[in-house]
A and B are shown apart, each in its own frame.
Chain A
Amino acid sequence: GESVGLHLPTLSVQEGDNSIINCAYSNSASDYFIWYKQESGKGPQFIIDIRSNMDKRQGQRVTVLLNKTVKHLSLQIAATQPGDSAVYFCAETSNAGGTSYGKLTFGQGTILTVHP
C-alpha cells in the first residue's frame, strides 16, 4: 500500500554514536534491496545494497541487515558524523518478468539528524 502522511520518522543522534535505521518492506518476491541517502535538494545517492540470498553486508561505516522472515531491513551507521545528516530510504526491487531491477519501490524514509 501507499504511505500516507507528511511526517517522516526521525532519528536524532550525537556525533560519534552508532545509528540504526529500520525499514519494513512489502513484497515477498523482492530479491534486491538498496539503501539510499538523500540530502536536501539532491537526488538519492546509493549507500549499500544487499541481495536476498544474504542476511548481512558491510561497507565503509555502514552495515545492512536483512531479515526475510519478517520482511525487515536495517541500516547501521557506525560513528555517525554531521555529514551523515540526511533522509535515508530503503528500496526494494526484483527482476519479475524480466523488467529490470530499476523499478524500485521506496519506503517512506527516515530523517537522520546528527548533532555535533
Chain B
Amino acid sequence: NAGVTQTPKFQVLKTGQSMTLQCAQDMNHNSMYWYRQDPGMGLRLIYYSASEGTTDKGEVPNGYNVSRLNKREFSLRLESAAPSQTSVYFCASTLGGVYTEAFFGQGTRLTVV
C-alpha cells in the first residue's frame, strides 16, 4: 500500500521552463491538495481538489495550475518557472468529510535557476 506517491523526487528547471508534478493516491480518498514548503516555514496550500471534478485556489496559487485527472491523480503544473518557485512541494490527500487527517507524499524538491 503506497499511500501518496509523488514524481519526480528532484527536479532542476531553468527560468521560464514548464513542468508538471504528478501525484497519485491509492487510498480511495476524495480530496487532494498541493502544498509548498520553503526553508524555515510551515507548508502553505497552493491548490486543492475537494472532490473529483473540482479544484480551487489555496493561499499561494499564483504561477500554478492544477488538474484533477481522476479520483487517484492530482497534478500541479508550472507554466513558466521562476526562481521564487524553488521549494519543496508536497501532495496530500484526505478521505473528506469531518475530522479526517491528511496523508502526505514524500515531496518533490524543485530548484529553479
Partner-binding segment picked from B62-70, B79-87, B94-102: B94-102
A43-B107, A49-B99 given; A102·B39 CB < 8 A: no
Interface presence of A3 (CB below 8 A): yes
A34-B101, A43-B106 given; A99·B41 CB < 8 A: no
Query: Chain A residues with Cβ under 8 A from B99's Cβ?
Result: 32, 49, 51, 101
Interface presence of A28 (CB below 8 A): no
Q: In the complex the two chains form, is A44's CB within 8 Å of B40's CB? A: no
Query: Chain A residues with Cβ under 8 A from B33's Cβ?
Result: 102-104
Mostly, the A contact residues are loop
A79 to B30, CA, bound (A): 37
Closest residue of chain B to A50 (Cβ to Cβ) is B99
Q: In the complex the two chains form, is B42's CB within 8 Å of A42's CB? A: no
Query: Chain A residues with Cβ under 8 A from B4's Cβ?
Result: 43
A109 to B28, CA, bound (A): 30
A102-B31, A103-B45, A104-B45 given; A95·B98 CB < 8 A: yes
A-B complex: 9 closest residue pairs judged by Cβ atoms: A106-B42, A43-B104, A6-B40, A102-B94, A106-B43, A100-B31, A100-B50, A102-B102, A44-B104
A-B residue pairs in contact (CB < 8 Å), sample of 6: A3-B41, A43-B104, A43-B105, A102-B94, A103-B58, A104-B35
Known: A41-B106, A100-B48, A103-B58. 20 other contacts (CB 8 A): A2-B44, A3-B40, A34-B101, A41-B107, A89-B42, A89-B43, A95-B98, A99-B48, A99-B50, A100-B96, A101-B98, A102-B31, A102-B93, A102-B96, A103-B45, A104-B33, A105-B45, A105-B59, A106-B42, A108-B40
